[in-house]
Amino acid sequence: MFRWKATAATFAIAALALTGCAGGGDAGDGGDGSGGTLTLGAIIEPLTLDPAGSEWGNRSPYYQAMYDTLLVATPEGTIEPWLATAWEYNDDNTVLTMTLRDDVTFSDGSELTADVVVENLQRFKDGTSPDASYFALVDTFEAVDESTVAITLSEPNPALLNYLTRDAGLIASSEAIAAGDLATNPVGSGPYIYDASTSVPGTSYRYTANPDYWNPDVQHYDNLVINVLSDATAALNAIKAGEANAVKLLTSNDLAEVEAAGWTINSNELDFAGLLLLDRDGVQAEALKDVRVRQALNYAFDREGLLAAMENGNGTVTGQVFPESSAAYDPALDDYYGYDPEKARELLAEAGYADGFTLSMPSSAFFGSTLYTLIDQQLADIGVTTEYTDPGSNFIADLLAPKFPASYMTLEQNPDWQLIQFMVAPEAIFNPFRTESDELNALIEEFQFGDEATQDAAAQEINTYLVENAWFSPWYRVQGNVPSDANTVVEMLPTNTYPAIYDIYPAN
C-alpha cells in the first residue's frame, strides 16, 4: 500500500462546446454485475479513445470503463494493485520493477504480458497525450520476463506510482494497437466494452459489461452510458428528469435544486482558485519582483467574501496551494494572509508603490464577468489598477508563453511531487518565468532524492516558503460535485475530479 500525499494534476480550464442529451438511467437491482444500466453525466467528451492520446481528470471515466490501469487509486487515498500485483524500487529509486497478473485477457481474446505493457508505456511516452511528460524521466521500459516489467529512470520520480493509476497506466490490446484504429475501436481488458454502433461521439458513449472481466466484484452494471452534459442547464435538467444516476456538475450553483430532486451531493476539494503571481522576477511587472508587493496582493482579498460570491460558500478558504491530504499541509497557512487592505497599502508604500501600480492580466469569458469585477474592486482598494486582455481560445497558451505577469486561475492541487513539478520547479509548466532560488532548489532536491520522512519534511518547508514569499495568492479550495440519485452510491477520490468507475455502484 502506498500512501498518497495529496491530490491530482492538470489545469482546470477547458472549452466545453458540446451539449449532450441524457439517456434514461436505470440503476440496477443491487448485486455486482447484476445491475441494469448506469447512466453518468460528464462535462467534456474524449478527444480520442486511444490511450496514447488520452487525458485523465473529467475524461477519466471513458477510459477507465474500457481499459485497466497498472495500479489503482482508492477513495481512501491509497495506491493499490490492479494489473500489477506487486512492485518495488531499487536502492536509489531509479528502477521500478512490477509483477503483472497472469489471468487477464483483453476483450479481443489476446493476453496481458510484459511485452504488451512495455508497448503501451512506450506508446504513451511517445504519444500525443498532454500528460506524456509523466514519463519524461524514463530511460527505458523493459519486459524482464513474461510477467515482469522494469522501468528505468534517469533520476528518481516520486510521482511515478501515481501516474500509473492514471492515463499513463492504461493498457490496450497489442493486437488492437497493430490494427491502428484504437481511436475509434478501443480494445482493453476493462470492466466494459465500448459499443460503437450505439454511441454518438461527442454526445453519448455506450458500453456493455465485459463477460470475461478478471475482477467482477467491481463490475456493478450490465450496461454503462456516459452522456456529455457540457452546460449547467443540461446537467440540472437530466437530474430533475431522472435521466441519469450520477452527474458531474460544472459549479456549485444548483446544489439546492439538486438536493430538492432527492439526490445526494458527493463532493471533494480538488482545485484551488486565486491569482497566480507568475512574474516573481519582475520581467514584465517590475513591482512583482518585490516580495512585499506580492504579500500586499495576498492581504488585498476578502477570501470569505469571494467564496460566498463565487461559490455560494461551497469550499474552504485557504492561503496555500497544497491540499489538506498533503504532508506539506499546515492549517496555520490557510489564514496566513487575512483580509487586511490597510496592511496591503503599508507594504506597497514600503516597496515604493504608495501610489499603486498597474497589473496586466488575461481575462476569459469562461470565468464570468462577476469574478473580474470583484478582483478590480479589491485591488483598487489598495491602489492597484487592473488591465485586462482577452486572448480568447489562446488563454492558456498566452499565459504560459508567458505573455502576462499574473492571472486568475483554478488549478488542481496535485500530489506533492506532481505539484512541485507542475507549478514550482524551475521547469514547471505553471512557472513560465522560470522563477527559482537556491533555497527552494535545495528543498526540491531533498524531496526528490529523500526517503518518505525526508520528503514529508521537505514538502512542509517548500509550502512554507511559497506562502511566506507569496508565490501565489490562493483564495479558496473549490468544492467539486458529482451528485447521485437514490439508487446510486458514489465514493469520491481525493486525487481526481471524477470518481472511479469501480466506486459507483447500486445503493441496495
Q: What is the CATH number for 223?
A: 3.40.190.10
Nearest residue to 104 (alpha-carbon basis) of 94, 96, 116: 116
> Could you report the per-residue pLDDT of 235-250, keeping only the tens digit for each?
999 999 999 999 999 9
The enclosing domain of 298 has a CATH number of: 3.10.105.10
Let me know whether 398 and 438 are in one domain. yes
Which helix (H) or strand (E) segment holds residue 89: the answer is strand 84-89
Let me know whether 398 and 489 are in one domain. no
Q: How many domains does the chain have?
A: 2
Residues in Cβ contact with 152 at an 8 Å cutoff, skipping those fewer than 6 apart: 94, 95, 138, 139, 140, 141, 142
Decide if 114 contacts 84 (C-beta within 8 A): no
C-alpha cell at 449: 532524492
Q: Is 368 exposed, middle or buried (0-12, 13-18, 19+ CB in 10 A)?
A: exposed
Decide if 30 contacts 107 (C-beta within 8 A): no
β-bridge pairing 246-247 and 37-42: parallel
The whole domain housing 78 covers 2-266+482-506
- Distances in Å between the Cα of 1 and the Cα atoms of 7, 73, 79, 163 are 17, 10, 6, 15
Nearest residue to 191 (alpha-carbon basis) of 290, 62, 87: 62
In whole angstroms, what is the distance from residue 318 CA to residue 321 CA?
8
Full 3-state SS string of 21-56: CCCCCECCCCCCCCCCEEEEEECCCCCCCCHHHCCC
- Distances in Å between the Cα of 435 and the Cα atoms of 136, 366, 405 are 21, 28, 12
What stretches of 67-185 show up as alpha helix (H) in DSSP? 114-126, 160-163, 174-179
Enumerate residue ranges in the chain where pLDDT < 70. Answer: 1-34
Which helix (H) or strand (E) segment holds residue 269: the answer is strand 267-277
Which helix (H) or strand (E) segment holds residue 205: the answer is strand 204-209
The pLDDT, as a whole number, for residue 5 is 33
Give CA 254 to chain center in angstroms: 22
In whole angstroms, what is the distance from residue 361 CA to residue 388 CA?
5
Let me know whether 338 and 230 are in one domain. no
Let me know whether 220 and 301 are in one domain. no
Nearest residue to 417 (alpha-carbon basis) of 382, 368, 458: 458
Let me know whether 280 and 426 are in one domain. yes
**What single DSSP character describes residue 110?**
P
Say whether 475 sits in a helix, a strand or coil.
Answer: strand
Let me know whether 433 and 494 are in one domain. no
The pLDDT, as a whole number, for residue 366 is 84
The pLDDT, as a whole number, for residue 30 is 33
Decide if 477 contacts 269 (C-beta within 8 A): yes
CB atoms within 10 A of CB 196: 13
Let me know whether 278 and 415 are in one domain. yes
C-alpha cell at 494: 481525493
Say whether 155 sits in a helix, a strand or coil.
Answer: coil
Decide if 164 contacts 70 (C-beta within 8 A): yes
Question: 223 has which bridge partners?
Answer: 37, 208
* Residue in this structure with the C-alpha cell 506524456, named with its chain if needed: 132
Let me know whether 231 and 293 are in one domain. no
Let me know whether 242 and 324 are in one domain. no
Residues in Cβ contact with 121 at an 8 Å cutoff, skipping those fewer than 6 apart: 135, 138, 141, 149, 151, 168
Decide if 2 contacts 417 (C-beta within 8 A): no
Let me know whether 387 and 491 are in one domain. no
The pLDDT, as a whole number, for residue 508 is 82
CB atoms within 10 A of CB 222: 17
Q: What are phi and psi of 218, to 5 degrees?
A: -110, 10
In whole angstroms, what is the distance from residue 396 CA to residue 419 CA?
18
Residues in Cβ contact with 373 at an 8 Å cutoff, skipping those fewer than 6 apart: none
Let me know whether 68 and 210 are in one domain. yes
CB atoms within 10 A of CB 102: 11
Full 3-state SS string of 192-207: EEECCCCCECCCEEEE
Let me know whether 160 and 57 are in one domain. yes
Q: How many residues does the chain have?
A: 508
Decide if 61 contacts 40 (C-beta within 8 A): yes
Decide if 107 contacts 193 (C-beta within 8 A): yes
